[in-house]
Amino acid sequence: MDNPIAPGYTAYQQATGYIGYNREITDHLTFDGAFSYDMLDFERYNLSYFNEAYREDEYYGKAMWRWRINDRHSVAFGGELLHGEYGLRSPDGPTWIPAARN
């Protein structure tokens, strides 16, 4: 009797890097900064062919200044940015599967 379940797999790998920086500029002013990179690679192989293979890259940055005016009041100003690139080609997947954005 043949095996009714076709060989296949679903797999992913992820890599993340983060760098943070905190600095006290004066007794009342501090700076916090950060940068990170995240990569997710996904593959699905079913019925002897690749159904999906793609990669996602995300970049994150933050810059924040905090000013302590007095013991009861403080102000923070700065910003955060997240940039994502989705549907990129999988580095381990086949090259004949078109990326989602092509």
Range of the domain at 41: 8-88
Return phi, psi of residue 38, to 5°. -135, 130
Q: In what order do the strands lie in the sheet with 49-68?
A: 8-24, 29-46, 49-68, 74-88
Number of domains in the chain: 1
Residue 102 resides in a domain: no
DSSP string, 54-66: EEEEEEEEEEEEE
Task: Kindly state whether residue 76 falls inside one of the protein's structural domains.
Answer: yes
pLDDT at 97 (0 to 100) = 52
In the three-class reduction of DSSP (H, G, I as helix; E, B as strand; rest coil), residue 26 is classed as: coil
Write the CB contacts of 65 (distance below 8 Å, at least 6 apart in sequence).
29, 30, 31, 76, 77, 78
Predicted TM-score (pTM) of the model is 0.71
pLDDT of residue 20: 98
Beta bridge partners, 88, equal 55
Q: Tell me the pLDDT of the chain (102 aa) as tens digits.
A: 454 555 677 888 999 999 999 999 999 999 999 999 999 998 888 776 667 788 999 999 999 999 999 999 999 999 999 999 998 888 766 655 555 444
Residue 96 in any domain: the answer is no
Ramachandran quadrant class, 60 (left: phi over 0; alpha: psi -120 to 50; beta: rest): beta
